[in-house]
Amino acid sequence: MSIFQYEKDADGIVTVTMDMTGPVNSMSAEFNPVMKATVERLEKEQGLTGVVLASAKKTFFAGGDLNSLLATTPAQTQDFFNSIEAMKADFRRLEKLPVPVVSAINGAALGGGFEICLATHYRIAYNHKSVQLGLPEVSLGLLPGGGGVVRMVNLLGLQNALPFLLEGKKVTPEKALKAGMIHEMVDSLEALIPSAKAYILEQKGNQAASVQPWDVKGFKIPGGAANSPKLAQVIMAAPAMLAKKTRGLLPAPEQILDCAVEAARLDFDAAMTIESRGLAYLAVTPEAKNMINTFFFQMNKVNGGASRPQAIEPQLTKKVGVLGAGMMGQGIAYVSAMAGIEVILKDISEQSAEKGKAYSENLLAKRVAKGRMSEAKKAAVLALIKPTADDNDLQGCDLIIEAVFENIELKNKITQTTEKFLAQDGVWGSNTSTLPITQLAEASSKAENFIGIHFFSPVDKMPLVEIICGDNTSDVALAKAFDYTKQIKKTPIVVNDSLGFFTSRTFSTYFDEAARMVTEGVYPVRVDNLGKAMGMPVGPLTVHDEVSQELSRKAFETWADMGVTDKWGEQDALRKVINFLTVENGRGGRHHKGGYFDYSSDGGKTLWPQLVDQFYRSDVEMSDQDIKDRLLFRQVIETLKCLQSNVLRTVADGNVGSIMGIGAPVWSGGFIQFVNTYGLEKFQTRCGELAAQYGERFVCPHIVEDKLSAGETFR
């Protein structure tokens, strides 16, 4: 059977149904030859009245072959460019057929899949939430090189096309129709191809139906060409706005903007060539390699359940108890109710619990105000949350998540008094960011059903959950926590037990190294700004103010009570700064009278002058590169240590977790993937330089030498 089924009906309409080898249609090695042969056959077809392009898969077309892209080397850039141009030539021939060509979009058409649709004259989509349309290549460090940039600009105009191109927006058929990306929707799959054929028959004798807008004589781009006064202002301002957002660290958005502007400036075919050059350039950049590897392959691996025990049946959570209605607990209650799970939100008083529920009510009200939810749906979600101060209401919960302060005695007490209300074989989860799960599980009567479920704040926005297995945690408990995380639409990474686990342990090194540089005399604002300049979302001093130095002080006290004084290397500098801020000056962070910075009522911040008086030394010289490397390498080294000691179970969990939980620079592909493209030997050398100048904490973990000796990278 051909991978492109070709069927001509009595009306002269040819339906080409894509059914490629494998689970999805994609631009694999078999695509270009069969597309070329199909177009040639259509060009020769006698009595042809129209063409319907359809799919035999659940998705319409999945896009480019990312394995091939990942394997492309700089030496192959010209060959890659030639292959893009050849594919685009076939798309151009398709849209120049003298009959209407219609896309019958039955499922997701993203990236290359939507680019195929753009090369057809008319686009009809099945109106269903599973159908997503768009060009998300920017999220993988690429640009839509199959004509997507040029056709979108010509179709929508530069200003309207840019959000879809620069942000990689994916939209439903309804939104695509409103934007002008498709022409029609149908309410059933069965109606899709008949509707496409009906359209073709209606256009009999209408030559305009077989001509793309940009091929019509006298065509003008919607909103004007690049030299129009209105667009000239947009084009002048766009690079500065983009640089502010990307900090110059991501080449793909810059290339997309350049190609889009050229599409509004040049003729169609010349712009197409520039687009191909842009993709050929990006495909071999380390940023693209990193982002493809992590955001596609490893993300699919993580979300696909690679860390979940395969032999365990699906574990559906029906009733969850959330203990503590503070910032974390109220967020957990909200995301659980949004997933349709019954929630018992318990606090020490019903008033506190009600206040926790009000958080959900406020979030839901905003959704209603924006037209994203009906009042009826809002009421249904709120009805799932029961605020209470009564332990008995927890009876029958198949999952209880404790979300109280980081105090081991308090957590143990709550476990001992409320664990009995769990349903038979129910699972207990502790939302702790640092305390060892094995030690917390000692208070449980069923340590095998005890697991760590570490959420990130704010829970409703942060996409990651770090699941921590103690020494006695069973596969069933892990499966339960994993499935619950997927149920609430979060991404789960699974790690083994350790003080601080992976994310908190690694993130603390960002604070620590920044504090070290402050105590060494580097100007604090410079340290903070260079943290952002290397690609972290927020500077280390700013984010520590947000997390709060008071919380760090209490954590140090808790660890001291546990007999832990030096877990990951000296943190004397961090202790010194925290003591100066909190104990000596009562500055515990932004919400505790300020920390490194003073905060005004309008949200602005200025450096606290006494910090400069205490630590800054004008004679200290340190390069920007050293500051950035110290902030980055500390986190990378700690991540490698976690992998080396089996705290991290997989490379994928480390990369995905570092980006989604810690804020690792997007361009890096995660802290472990960074080492791959930086080069293992080069990384080892740079670690040696930093260690010689700044201390043993920069000594390269031996796992790097192990990989070098084996001729491997981190996969």
Structural domain contains residue 294: no
Confidence at residue 547, expressed as pLDDT on a 0 to 100 scale: 86
pLDDT tens digits for range 189-245? 999 999 999 999 999 999 999 999 999 999 999 999 998 888 988 899 999 999 999
Structural domain contains residue 668: no
**Residue the block writes with tokens 């240590």:** 641
Structural domain contains residue 311: no
Cis before 458 (ω within 30)? yes
What the block records as the tokens of 476 is 């069933």
Q: Are residues 471 and 562 in the same domain?
A: no
Q: Are residues 493 and 511 in the same domain?
A: no
| Proportion of the chain above pLDDT 70, given as a percent | 98
Assign residue 454 the CATH number of its domain: 3.40.50.720
Print the domain residue range for 265: 4-284
* Helix, strand or coil, per DSSP, at residue 648: strand
Structural domain contains residue 296: no
Q: How far apart are CA 655 and CA 669, in angstroms?
A: 7
pLDDT tens digits for range 124-133? 999 999 999 9
Our count of domains for the chain comes to 3
pLDDT tens digits for range 372-418? 999 999 999 999 999 999 999 999 999 999 999 888 999 999 999 99
How much is the mean pLDDT over the chain? Answer: 95
Confidence at residue 1, expressed as pLDDT on a 0 to 100 scale: 47
Structural domain contains residue 154: yes
Confidence at residue 406, expressed as pLDDT on a 0 to 100 scale: 87
What the block records as the tokens of 290 is 């990193």
Confidence at residue 576, expressed as pLDDT on a 0 to 100 scale: 84
Q: Of the given ranges (50-54, 428-432, 501-505, 560-564), which has the lowest mean pLDDT?
A: 560-564
Residue 274 main-chain phi, psi, to 5 deg: -65, -40
**Using 50, 70 and 90 to split pLDDT, how confident is the model at 567?**
very low
Q: How far apart are CA 176 and CA 182, in angstroms?
A: 6
Q: Are residues 508 and 557 in the same domain?
A: yes
**566 pLDDT above the threshold of 60:** no
Secondary structure letter of residue 296 according to DSSP: I
**Using 50, 70 and 90 to split pLDDT, how confident is the model at 425?**
very high
**118 pLDDT above the threshold of 90:** yes
| CA–CA distances in Å: residue 534 to residues 565, 655, 665, 680 | 31, 17, 7, 20
**Nearest to residue 405, comparing CAs of 366, 378, 434, 447?**
434
Q: Are residues 517 and 557 in the same domain?
A: yes
Residue 493 main-chain phi, psi, to 5 deg: -110, 150
**Using 50, 70 and 90 to split pLDDT, how confident is the model at 591?**
confident
User: ∠ at Cα 260 (132, 291), nearest 5°?
Assistant: 55
pLDDT tens digits for range 435-494? 999 999 999 999 999 999 999 999 999 999 999 999 999 999 999 999 999 999 999 999
Structural domain contains residue 450: yes
Domain C-terminal end among 445, 478, 498: 498
**562 pLDDT above the threshold of 70:** no
Q: Are residues 530 and 449 in the same domain?
A: no
Assign residue 553 the CATH number of its domain: 1.10.1040.50
**570 pLDDT above the threshold of 70:** no
Q: Are residues 483 and 563 in the same domain?
A: no
Confidence at residue 569, expressed as pLDDT on a 0 to 100 scale: 45
Domain C-terminal end among 233, 268, 284: 284
Structural domain contains residue 656: no
pLDDT tens digits for range 247-271? 999 999 999 999 999 999 999 999 9
Confidence at residue 564, expressed as pLDDT on a 0 to 100 scale: 60
Structural domain contains residue 433: yes
Assign residue 25 the CATH number of its domain: 3.90.226.10
pLDDT tens digits for range 137-165? 999 999 999 999 999 999 999 999 999 99
**Using 50, 70 and 90 to split pLDDT, how confident is the model at 552?**
confident
Q: Are residues 140 and 245 in the same domain?
A: yes
Confidence at residue 565, expressed as pLDDT on a 0 to 100 scale: 54
End-to-end Cα spacing for the chain: 36
| CA–CA distances in Å: residue 81 to residues 76, 85, 250, 283 | 9, 6, 21, 10
Q: Average of pLDDT values for 19-31?
A: 93
Q: How far apart are CA 103 and CA 123, in angstroms?
A: 5
Q: Are residues 509 and 487 in the same domain?
A: no
Confidence at residue 307, expressed as pLDDT on a 0 to 100 scale: 96
Contacts of residue 236, defined as CB under 8 A and 6 or more positions apart, other chains included, come to none
Confidence at residue 45, expressed as pLDDT on a 0 to 100 scale: 97
Q: Are residues 123 and 262 in the same domain?
A: yes
Q: Average of pLDDT values for 348-363?
A: 97
**Using 50, 70 and 90 to split pLDDT, how confident is the model at 548?**
confident
Q: Are residues 472 and 529 in the same domain?
A: no
Q: Are residues 611 and 542 in the same domain?
A: yes
Q: Report which residue type is found at 284.
A: V
For the full predicted model, state whether its pTM sits above 0.85: yes
* Higher local confidence (pLDDT), 570 or 56: 56
Q: Are residues 427 and 510 in the same domain?
A: no
Q: How far apart are CA 491 and CA 303, in angstroms?
A: 6
